[in-house]
């Protein structure tokens, strides 16, 4: 049976790299992004041309349950779910608006509930499935000036561990990948000087690449089924 993977936040960065790695592995794909229609179309065309797999796309704001509901109906049977979509906010907590707080929480954490609530029943019916939630080292340790992002990713970690226990009897594995600084557009808010200082703190003396993150996610997907409920950290020895 052909297996299909759903990847959110797939128009760039880690999500795009995951899509390419899973296409290489022979998965059919359902790629989701919020509004980068042209970007995700180009990714779709390139993947189909290179790997010959079936690749569908959808525009969906994963922070909105109604949009998620419509998207999941279109996706069909999902065997691997990679919850990658996320937004960040850098600044003092006291400068953050209520709407900005809700945007981070709805996109980074509530979306996991929305999507899993709709995908898990089919996995339980098949008694098979893999769920990978993309987290961050800040979900483990917390970061000054990124309180909302840290809190959301800490929630992702707890969500992952709890859901793994709930679904283990149904042979569904739920794991998280907590990354350090990965070289993606999410870091565009930092100046070159700030990034240079940050790089100096990392024992590996470099940023991670999106492809390295994707390969880690692929390894988790193909790990023995006894691996579940884990938050696996890859950060170049940083935190």
User: Does residue 239 sit within a domain?
Assistant: no
Question: pLDDT for 15-45, tens place per residue?
Answer: 999 999 999 999 999 999 999 999 999 999 9
Cα-to-chain-centroid distance, residue 94: 28
CA 83 to CA 73: how far, in whole Å?
A: 17
Q: Which domain holds residue 115?
A: 4-234
| Residue-level pLDDT at 139 | 98
Instruction: Report the side by side order of strands in the sheet with 80-83.
Output: 55-59, 28-33, 4-8, 80-83, 129-136, 172-179, 231-234
The model's pTM is 0.96
Are the CB atoms for 113 and 39 separated by under 8 Å?
no
In eight-state DSSP terms, residue 157 is: H
Active site residue 51: no
Q: Tokens 């990124």 map to which residue? A: 146
CA 135 to CA 158: how far, in whole Å?
A: 11
| Residue-level pLDDT at 1 | 58
DSSP-derived pairing of the beta strands 4-8 and 28-33: parallel
Produce one character per residue of 101-117: b if its CB has 16 or more CB atoms within 10 Å, e if not: bebbbbbbbbbbebbbe
Report the number of distinct structural domains present in the chain: 1
Q: What is the CATH number of the domain that holds 107?
A: 3.40.50.720
Burial of residue 56, with CB atoms counted within 10 A of its CB: 0-12 exposed, 13-18 middle, 19 or more buried? middle
| Residue-level pLDDT at 125 | 98
**Three-state DSSP class for residue 141:** helix
Catalytic-role residue among 51, 114, 149, 226: 149
| Residue-level pLDDT at 187 | 81
User: Does residue 190 sit within a domain?
Assistant: yes
């Amino acid at each position: 049976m052909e297996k299909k993977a759903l990847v959110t936040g797939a128009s760039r960065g880690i999500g795009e790299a995951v899509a390419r790695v899973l296409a290489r592995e022979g998965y059919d794909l359902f790629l989701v992004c919020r509004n980068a229609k042209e970007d995700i179309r180009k990714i779709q065309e390139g993947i189909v041309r290179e790997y010959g797999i079936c690749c569908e796309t959808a525009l969906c704001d994963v922070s909105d349950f109604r949009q998620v509901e419509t998207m999941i109906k279109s996706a069909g049977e999902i065997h691997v779910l990679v919850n990658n979509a996320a937004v960040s906010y850098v600044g003092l907590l006291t400068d953050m608006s209520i709407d900005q707080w809700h945007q981070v929480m709805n996109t980074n954490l509530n979306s996991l509930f929305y999507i899993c609530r709709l995908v898990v029943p089919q996995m339980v019916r098949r008694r098979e499935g893999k769920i990978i939630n993309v987290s961050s080292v800040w979900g483990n340790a917390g970061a000054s000036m990124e309180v909302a992002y840290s809190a959301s990713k800490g929630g992702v970690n707890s969500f992952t561990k709890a859901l793994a226990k709930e679904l283990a009897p149904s042979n569904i594995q739920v794991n998280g990948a907590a990354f350090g600084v990965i070289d993606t557009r999410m870091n565009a808010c930092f100046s070159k000087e700030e990034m240079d200082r940050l790089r100096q703190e990392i024992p590996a003396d470099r940023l991670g690449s999106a492809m390295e993150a994707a390969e880690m996610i692929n390894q988790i997907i193909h790990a023995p089924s006894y691996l579940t409920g884990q938050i696996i950290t890859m950060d170049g020895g940083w935190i």
